[in-house]
Chains A and B, each alone.
Chain A
């Protein structure tokens, strides 16, 4: 019995790549870190023949041919990968290149902006449909719905919502803070925080004085870029930070930038992690 089973399994394993290749494996180019992430989460990566430069996760995606920055695509470069389907974020471009790709017979599916749990779930389902992974997408969607529901309950239970300031980059000049209408703004609100820079529009450079005036309880930064600033200690030394509640209590949170702000399949878990950090802050006023 056991022997027979393993024989079957071996036969299945041998036949499987052939079956999946013959059935529905369109050659797919994913444009956008969030989309690549979802394709991998749905275990549909065999179909991927190329990604854009924002697709940094998972590690395996970096081994694929890189067609460049998502807003500066080159028509012939994409065509050289012979894709049948291009899964593109809403801001892929330039439009002239997308038109050239369409004219060459490539199917381009643009996915809408997602900054809410519903939109993330919808995006997962849409990618699942497009790459022929409907069942896997439904499983993942349900899992995400569960995580977001738990997040909603946890946020509702928070007695106070700390003021969070997301700082994007700090070169020699002033750091850039995430204001209204940014992915960071949505991410902060979802995790139960209040964006301290909601008076700004988009990403704006903030002077040391306005940093102090924004009076954030927490400063949030991307872990990917934190080395450039000298990590948490470096952030605390930024001019103006010492004058904020966050600076005085050394509350600097490092987040996984792409996972959180890409609003892909990893967003929910990241939001939960951030929420736990924000909730813990309440305990030590």
Chain B
């Protein structure tokens, strides 16, 4: 017992440095994110805008861009990146499979079906609502679709013990949801087709304080709660029976973790569309560097995911000025090759 406690302390003391480093990286990326955009604003001007807002001084010309466009966007990227990466780390731990991403439990595909269904079939409903409410209607449909698909995966998956059925149920529900997306794409008109792009590639465009305020209460609780499950996830790494012997209820763990991940990912996808690779890549890389201890992995993933998404969004905003790239293109463009490299490295490690 004392040995276990000792080991625990020793690991804990080693966690401070990586987390502090990642926090510094996150802050640095936030500065980069605030300083980049289509408007050429020198860094001093950006700091000045924030300063004037905090001190209640009169705003200058560029201040609006910083306060109304960039600041909520960087905040949204932080939340979404943290939610996706932390969810990814949780799911990889829960399924004991490093290839899992948060979308596996159906939440992303379900959200896409919800949103696209609203765009294509809810046209009449949207026409009645004022335009801004309309965009929230789509987000609400996405969120509902994500949760519904997750519940379906969970209800089917728990009929047999172990995670294998859950995993396969996730694959099947994803396939059904993608068929739904395909069918809706067929029904969509040319304009709706263009709107669907947003959901399949993701974008942080159109983020304002209202939208941020709408999703922050949905994403912050899971983000705060998920790291508390680290000991349980660590125990699960040993196997379900071993986790039960250590005093964790695997069934309960699974239920609560899936609920939290669905909440965080569903809210992220509802606002920003499906942004790939963040949830898969970030936990993967961190595990390679610092090992599989979830007490470090979960908070580290959240910080690194946030930093990555802020950076990717900054690239999305400046790459094709004055237009914008979908952020999913950038995360996949960076993530895809990196993942391949990782895969090859792992294979070579096995070979030797």
Specify which of A50, A68, A77, A103 lies most central, judged by the most chain B CB atoms within 10 Å of its CB: A77
**A95-B190 CB under 8 A given contacts A67-B322, A80-B38:** no
With A76-B38, A76-B317, A77-B323 already in contact, the answer to whether A95 and B131 are too (CB < 8 A) is yes
Contact with A along B178-204 (1 / 0, CB 8 A): 000000001001110011011000010
In contact, B134 and A95 (Cβ under 8 angstroms)? yes
Is the pair B317, A100 in contact by a Cβ cutoff of 8 Å? no
Do B322 and A66 have beta carbons less than 8 Å apart? yes
A53, A80, A96, A205: the one within 8 Å of B135 (CB) = A96
Q: Does A254 make an interface contact (CB < 8 A)?
A: no
Residues from chain B with Cβ under 8 Å of A66 in the complex? 322-323
Which of B38, B195, B208 is the one whose CB lies under 8 Å from A74?
Answer: B38
Contact with B along A92-131 (1 / 0, CB 8 A): 0011111110011000000000000000000000000000
- Contact across chains for B69 and A76 when beta carbons are under 8 A apart: yes
Query: Which of B65, B186, B190, B205 is within 8 Å of A97, CB to CB?
Result: B205
Q: Contacts A66-B322, A97-B206 hold; do A71 and B194 have CB atoms under 8 A apart?
A: yes
Note all chain A residues with C-beta closer than 8 A to B208.
96, 99-100
Contacts of A94 in B (CB 8 A): 135, 195, 198, 205-206
Inter-chain contacts of A205 with B (CB < 8 A): 186
- Which residue of B39, B132, B205 contacts A79 across the interface (Cβ within 8 Å)? B39
- Cα(A206)–Cα(B195), bound, Å: 23
Q: How many A residues are at the interface, by size bracket?
A: 20 to 34
Residues of B within 8 A of A20 (CB): none
Contact of B205 among A75, A99, A202 (CB under 8 A): A75
The smallest beta-carbon distance between A281 and chain B, in angstroms, is 28
List of A residues within 8 angstroms of B65 by Cβ: 76, 79, 104
Q: Classify the interface of chain B: helix, strand, loop or mixed.
A: helix
B70: A residues at CB distance < 8 A: 76
The complex places the Cα of A254 from the Cα of B317 at a distance, in Å, of 38
CB of B4 within 8 A of chain A?
no
CB distance from B326 to the nearest CB of A (A): 8
**A80 to B40, Cβ gap below 8 A?**
yes
The yes or no answer to A272 lying at the interface (CB within 8 A) is: no
**In this assembly, does B37 line the interface, its C-beta being within 8 Å of a C-beta of chain A?**
yes
**Are A74 and B68 closer than 8 Å at their CB atoms?**
no
How distant is the Cα of A202 from the Cα of B132 in the complex, in angstroms?
Answer: 26
Contact A50-B189, Cβ < 8 Å, known A72-B203, A95-B131, A100-B206 = no
Q: Does A28 have its Cβ within 8 Å of any Cβ on chain B?
A: no
Q: How far is the CA of A68 from the CA of B205 in the complex (A)?
A: 12
Contacts of A202 in B (CB 8 A): 189-190
* Contact (Cβ within 8 A) A100 B40: no
A71 contacts B323, C-beta separation under 8 Å = no
Judged by a CB distance under 8 angstroms, whether B344 is at the interface is no
Q: Interface centre among A79, A98, A103, A205, by most B CB within 10 Å? A: A79
Q: Contact check: which of A53, A72, A76, A95 meets B198 at CB < 8 Å? A: A72
Report if A253 contacts B (CB, 8 A). no
Q: A71-B194, A103-B68 are in contact. Are A80 and B322 (CB under 8 A)?
A: yes
Query: How far does the alpha carbon of A99 sit from the alpha carbon of B320 in the complex, in Å?
Result: 22
Determine how close the nearest CB of chain B comes to the CB of A131; give it in whole angstroms. 20
Give min CB distance, A51 to chain B, whole Å. Answer: 10
**How far is A73 from B322 in the complex, measured between Cα atoms in Å?**
9
Interface string of B77-104 (1 = CB under 8 A from A): 0000000000000000000000000000
Closest to B70 in A: A76
- For the complex, give the distance between the alpha carbons of A115 and B273 in Å: 33
Interface membership of A152, Cβ < 8 A: no
B121 at the interface (CB under 8 A from A): no
Contact A71 B191 (CB under 8 A): yes
- Of B38, B64, B134, the most chain A CB neighbours within 10 A belong to B38
- A56-88 interface mask toward B, CB cutoff 8 Å, 1 = contact, 0 = none? 000000000111110111111111110000000
The residues of B with any CB-CB pair to A shorter than 8 Å are: 37-40, 64-65, 68-70, 131-132, 134-135, 186, 189-191, 194-195, 197-198, 203, 205-208, 211, 317, 320-324
